Chain A
Amino acid sequence: MSPRIRGLIYFVGFLAFAAIFCGLVPFLLMPSIGAGVALPVIEVPGEVVQEDLLPGFNLTNSIIGTLVTDFLLILIVFVLWRLSRGWTKEVPGRLQGMFEAFVSGFRSFSSNIGGERLRTTPMLWPLVATIFLFLLTANYMKLFPGAETVGKMHCAYEGQSGYSMIPGWTDSSYRLWVDESLNAGSSQTAETYDLCNYYFKYGEFSRFPVESVEEIEPQVEAAQQAVTDAERELADRTAALAGVLESLDADESNWSDADRDSVNEAEAAVLEGTDDLARAERALERQQIRLEAAQQIPALEAELEEVTSQINLLDDSAVRSELDRQEDLVDEPRYAAAGFTLAAAEGVADAVALAQERGATSGDDLSEVLSDLRSERSELEEELNFQRTQMQFPTATLTFTESQLETDAVPFIFHITPFVRGPATDLSLTIALAIFSIVVVQIYGVMALGPAYFEKFVNLTAIGNVGKRPLGVIDFIVGLIEIISEIGKIVSLAFRLFGNLFAGGVALMAVTFLLAMLVPGVIYGLELIIGAVQALVFAVLTLVFSVQAMEAHHEHPDHEEHDEEHHDGDEQATSRLHSDASLT
């Protein structure tokens, strides 16, 4: 077989694979089992996984991602420490050799930029290397399967869109149920959120069967009785609590432990009573909704049938042509004068009568009447589906069709929040890291130059010399602009990292939801490159700013005082140039 034929077979095979797994499976097969392609969740701030973990502190998924990154980094370092026997092993094994090559490569790259200062300044190299390794681990951890995808299902928060839920493939597991591809889901409002929470709060997991009015009425009565009982019980318990409080001293500090216990018991009883009452009231409400649904469904079904039969009757080209014929004939004056009533053609007499009843005199009017009827029918269908859903799930927030009601799906709006999210996709981490870097740069500047470092911003020397050099005022203003430049550095560092990673994550999610197979691999490759490059750039920029800060800022060449430092800087630069030239 020639290579060309083989290539053709591979190519056709690949196209078939793509057609099946990017087309058929996600858009035809999966919706039928309720696992259709939904739309991804994209939120700029970190999503809250657990509210109020500590008072006033919400646990977001980017914090969890940061903790995972920290753990991974410490694990890697620990493993290498063991492999190299406490950094002492002279002949490295494979893993140790790989890591040594990696670190020494980064070190030589940094010394090209940092020069001597990398060795002499305390904690500069560890800082730069840590930033690089942390961001590298963070960006690659984000790409691991499971990050930003596996999450916790909950009632969608207000404003979020979500889908209905179905019991999953194991006991007590659930999954989102999407039976339409690229369905944007339904948006949750405040009241539907409360209703969804009641579903969990009151444990209303079982669905009601379809029952008639006669079967539901006794249930309503029973629920009303339960409410009355609960009210009475609560009144009793409240009275008991009042009695207990009365029998004790007015001053709380005089109570004995037994007294306190009895008060707590009575209070707990009252709370339980209130809760029971709420439950009973809610059960009553639900039965009443079911009763209403049961009362309305038969009427709706009858109406729907009538409208459907009307539509079927009228939706006939024979009716249309008959109407047109009648319209044409009616306009002829001699017929009108003669007072003939036109008999409709056989078979369409009823339809024509109905159409004329509804005010249709021509074929076009008939189309209008038909479209009116059709919209009426869809409204009725909607209402009927709503009532049917309410019958089985009182206070449901979604409306299910009959086929949907046959499945196990639950008609409230649910949402999945991923557990782990890449740390650098959260603006909080990138801004914090950027502020940290720039503050450290200022510290290095002060360490190297003393308080004279701040002459970079507030150029007092230029003002002092304003007698000799009036144009020094410009230098002073330039110094003030440097302050803005520092803030600009913070913003650019933060947003460069955030933008690259967040956009990469969004692109990955969007492509994965649209073309499930193979194409996300391309985006993955891009993410691998971008993750490494952005980590490198952040670390290298920190190094560059530190080195710049530690070098004395160059004054106007006329000044003799600064000639020495000027020469030092030149020497360093030229020596580096010479060493570079000698390498090539």
Chain B
Amino acid sequence: MEGDISVGLKAIGAGLAMLAAIGPGIGIGLLAQGAMQAIGRNPDAGGQIQTNMILAIVFTEAIAIYALVVALLIVFVL
């Protein structure tokens, strides 16, 4: 396998695919920001806010997972 260029190219492809994790990273940060501010304003509603935040984070995370799936496919299947 040494010197086999296809392995190297696959690695580059997987690395590029994971760049897509920037988006959900920023998105989750924004979600958390909103949640923190809401809890700060209304600490009693903390439980509800937290539950809804977790739900929203799961959806945002899914996009990063799509990128991870593509990266894994590139490395292990292609």
Contact = CB atoms under 8 A, between A and B. Distances in A.
Interface in A461-498: 492, 495-496, 498
Interface stretch (A201-209, A532-540, A561-569): A532-540
A110 B29 CA distance: 27
Nearest to A503: B68
B58 A533 contact: yes
A492 to B, nearest CB: 6
Contacts of B65: 495-496, 499-500, 503
Residue of B44, B51, B65, B66 ringed by the most chain A CB atoms within 10 A: B65
Interface in B33-67: 42, 44-45, 48, 51, 54-55, 58-59, 61-62, 65-66
Given A42-B76, A44-B76, A540 B69 contact: no
Residue of B1, B42, B68, B73 ringed by the most chain A CB atoms within 10 A: B68
Contacts of A506: 72
Nearest to A42: B76
Interface residues of A, number: 20
B69 A499 contact: yes
A444 interface: no
Given A43-B76, A44-B72, A506-B72, A540 B55 contact: yes
A120 interface: no
Contacts of A109: 51
A545 interface: no
Interface string A530-559: 000110010010000000000000000000
Contact of A498 (B1, B42, B45, B69): B69
Contacts of B45: 584
Given A42-B76, A43-B76, A584-B45, A499 B58 contact: no
A503 B72 contact: yes
- Interface size band for B: 20 to 34
Contacts of A584: 42, 44-45, 48
A499 B68 contact: yes
A184 B4 CA distance: 15
B69 A503 contact: yes
B8 to A, nearest CB: 16
B22 interface: no
Contacts of A498: 69
Interface in A495-542: 495-496, 498-500, 502-503, 506, 533-534, 537, 540
A502 B76 contact: no
B30 to A, nearest CB: 20
B55 A499 contact: no
A576 to B, nearest CB: 13
Nearest to A496: B62
Contacts of B44: 584
A537 B68 contact: no
B39 to A, nearest CB: 13
Contact of B58 (A184, A495, A534): A534
A397 B22 CA distance: 46
Contacts of B5: none
Contacts of A43: 76
A506 B58 CA distance: 20
Contact of B69 (A42, A502, A534): A502
Interface string A164-194: 0000000000000000000010000000000
Contacts of B77: 44
A469 B1 CA distance: 66
Contact of A499 (B1, B42, B48, B62): B62
A265 to B, nearest CB: 51
Contacts of B42: 584
Nearest to A541: B59
Interface in A300-315: none
A363 B54 CA distance: 70
Nearest to A187: B1
Given A492-B62, A495-B62, 7 more contacts: A43-B76, A44-B76, A499-B68, A503-B68, A506-B72, A534-B58, A584-B44
Interface of B: 1, 42, 44-45, 48, 51, 54-55, 58-59, 61-62, 65-66, 68-69, 72-73, 76-77
Q: Which 5 A-B pairs have the closest CB atoms?
A: A499-B65, A496-B62, A499-B69, A537-B58, A503-B68
